[in-house]
Amino acid sequence: MKTKKIISLLIILTFIVSMSIPSFAAKPVKSEITGSITIEKIVTGTSSITDYTVELYKIGKRDMLTYVDEASVSVGASFTFVDLPEGTYTLVDDTDPDAIIEPASVKIWKKNTEDIFTSTSTYSEPPPPPPPTTYDYLALGDSIATGTVGIGSPTYSYVYQFNDYLSSVQENTTFTNLAHDGDTSGDLLNKLNNDSTFIDAVEEAEIITISIGGNNLLDAGNSPYFTSINTTIALANTIKFESEYPAIITRIASLNSEVDIMVMTLYNPYNVSDGSGSLYDDDAYLHTTTDIYLSRINDAIEVSGAYEYVDVVDVYGTFDSYAESNDMDDITLFYDGWFWRDPHPNQTGQNIIYSLHESVYGSIH
């Protein structure tokens, strides 16, 4: 009887204990939330950078940042971080610290398992490229440069040939020919001092060629025959040249200290020996007399060659070799007519003057 009571008591206690202990086996296990964050890289303006490194951080308590991962994102492309645990994240653009990150942070949780960051880099547009640099050639002088002649058709003067040459060796060459038939040294000096077209052209030029002084002496000849020389006029105009020509060079230098100047010496159109025919009987004398004044004019030109920015083209010396052999008719129009003599160079003469300019230019550039 006592044994039965003990057994009954144990059964009752076991039931009470089992009822008081909570049951854990029936409670379901909570699933872990993971998500993904996509990074998009946007660039406005012009930059040579094509790939950007971004770093993902998790924001913890007290805004402490914990490094999660990094990736390289190409411009206009995207990258997705996956299997990210629940939490709040922020992004840093390591390549461009000034990039704008939007939004500032994203939260991965059960209602938001996918999100996007955009990183936008903005660059200033570069200024438009400057216009191409030009190489400006300016021709100054008289009819030797224009190509005008008294007999026949105009020649393709040395300045046009020289421009063709410059265009082949210099990019973006421009050409301005302000030479004028009949101009003397005084005419050119006046234009350089007072004519805005001449002043502006000189200021813009990289190189200037000059042929001047022939008309100073032409007034002393009895044009169109050139069978005599008025020595009074020749001397007076030579003296003018000796004062006006240095002023021309000084004026050009004051307008443009960087310009290169090429000046040709003047040639003597007379052969050194008398020719057949009554009109040419005094050519030997005329050659010698003309040289008196030409030598002074060419000396003034040669003196200017001492300036670093002035180069002298010795046309006189080359042409005089033809005069010595009485072959000025090969290079000028002086012996092409019987009564009317034209001291201008013919096309062959112009070609020689051009070749001399090319040679001097090539030696200094």
Q: CA angle, corner 159, sides to 135 and 319, nearest 5?
A: 135
| Integer Cα distance of 184 and 276 in angstroms | 32
Q: Is residue 113 part of a domain?
A: yes
Confidence label for 4 from pLDDT (cuts 50, 70 and 90): low
Residue-by-residue DSSP string for 299-341: HHHHHHTTSTTEEEE-HHHHHHHHHHTT-GGGTEETTSSSS--
pLDDT grade for 340, boundaries at 50, 70 and 90: confident
Residues 81, 195, single domain; the answer is no
Look at residue 143 and tell me if it is in a domain: yes
Residue 325 has pLDDT above 50, yes or no: yes
At 114, which amino acid appears? E
Residue 58, pLDDT above cutoff 90:
yes
End of a domain among 96, 122, 148? 122
What the block records as the tokens of 57 is 């951080």
C-alpha 149/C-alpha 259 separation (Å) is 30
User: For 172, how many CA atoms within 13 A lie in the half-sphere containing its CB?
Assistant: 7
Mean local confidence (pLDDT), 187-206: 98
Which residue would you say has higher pLDDT here, 152 or 234? 234
Indicate the residue type of 293.
Answer: Y
Of 90, 122, 154, the domain-final residue: 122
Contact of 119 with 99, CB cutoff 8 Å: yes
Using left for φ > 0, alpha for ψ between -120 and 50, and beta otherwise, residue 299 falls in alpha
173-177: strand order across its sheet: 173-177, 135-141, 207-211, 260-264, 310-313
* pTM higher than the cut 0.95: no
Segment 162-179 shows an average pLDDT of 97
**Count of domains forming the chain:** 2
> Residue 16's pLDDT is what?
53
* Same domain (yes/no): 233, 158: yes
Query: What mean pLDDT is reported for the chain?
Result: 90
Say yes or no to pLDDT of 332 above 50.
yes
CA 297 vs. chain centroid, Å, equals: 38
pLDDT band per the 50, 70, 90 thresholds, residue 9: low
Does residue 319 register a pLDDT over 70? yes
Top pLDDT among 222 and 2 is at 222
Tens of pLDDT, residue by residue over 198-245, are 999 999 999 999 999 999 999 999 888 899 999 999 999 999 999 999
| Residue 358 sits in the same domain as residue 268 | yes
Flag whether 246 is in a domain: yes
Cβ–Cβ under 8 Å, residues 213 and 266: yes
Predicted local distance difference test score (pLDDT) of residue 3: 53
Range of the domain at 305: 135-364
Per-residue pLDDT at 290: 97
Residues 143 and 50 in one domain: no
pLDDT value for 91: 95
3-state secondary structure of 86: coil
112 and 154 inside one domain: no
143 and 289 fall within a common domain: yes
Same domain, 176 and 320: yes
At 221, give phi and psi (nearest 5°): -90, 155
User: Does residue 27 sit within a domain?
Assistant: no
Are β-strands 332-333 and 342-345 bridged in parallel, bridged antiparallel, or unpaired? antiparallel
- What pLDDT is stored for residue 127 in this prediction? 78
Q: What is the CATH number of the domain that holds 38?
A: 2.60.40.10
* CA dist list (Å): 81 to 70, 87, 119: 9, 14, 15
What type of residue sits at position 119? S
CA distance 187 to 211: 13
107 and 237 belong to one structural domain: no
pLDDT surpassing 90 at residue 73: yes
Domain holding 281: CATH number?
3.40.50.1110
pLDDT band at residue 2 using 50, 70 and 90 as cut-offs: low
Selection from 195, 183, 178 nearest residue 255 by Cα: 195
Q: Which residue, of 122, 155, 175, is where some domain finishes?
A: 122
The mean pLDDT value for 300-326 works out to 96
Calculate what percentage of the chain has a pLDDT beyond 70.
Answer: 90
Q: Assess whether pLDDT exceeds 60 at residue 22.
A: no
Q: What is the pLDDT of residue 222?
A: 86
Q: Which of 61-65, 131-135, 337-341 has the lowest mean pLDDT?
A: 337-341
327: in domain: yes
**148 with 263, same domain?**
yes
If asked whether residues 177 and 71 sit together in one domain, one would say no
Residues 345 and 292 in one domain: yes
Query: What's the mean pLDDT in 97-118?
Result: 93
How distant, in Å, are the alpha carbons of 12, 72, 156, 198, 349 from that of 267? 146, 76, 19, 26, 11
Give dist(CA 92, CA 102) in Å, integer: 11
Question: Quick check: 278 pLDDT over 60?
Answer: no
User: pLDDT tier at 152 (50, 70, 90 boundaries)?
Assistant: confident
| 28 lies in some domain | no
Main-chain dihedrals φ then ψ at residue 296, nearest 5 degrees: -70, -40
Residue 17 has pLDDT above 50, yes or no: no
Same domain, 173 and 296: yes
Q: Respond yes or no on whether the N-terminal peptide bond of residue 224 is cis (omega within 30° of 0).
A: yes
In a domain, 205, yes or no: yes
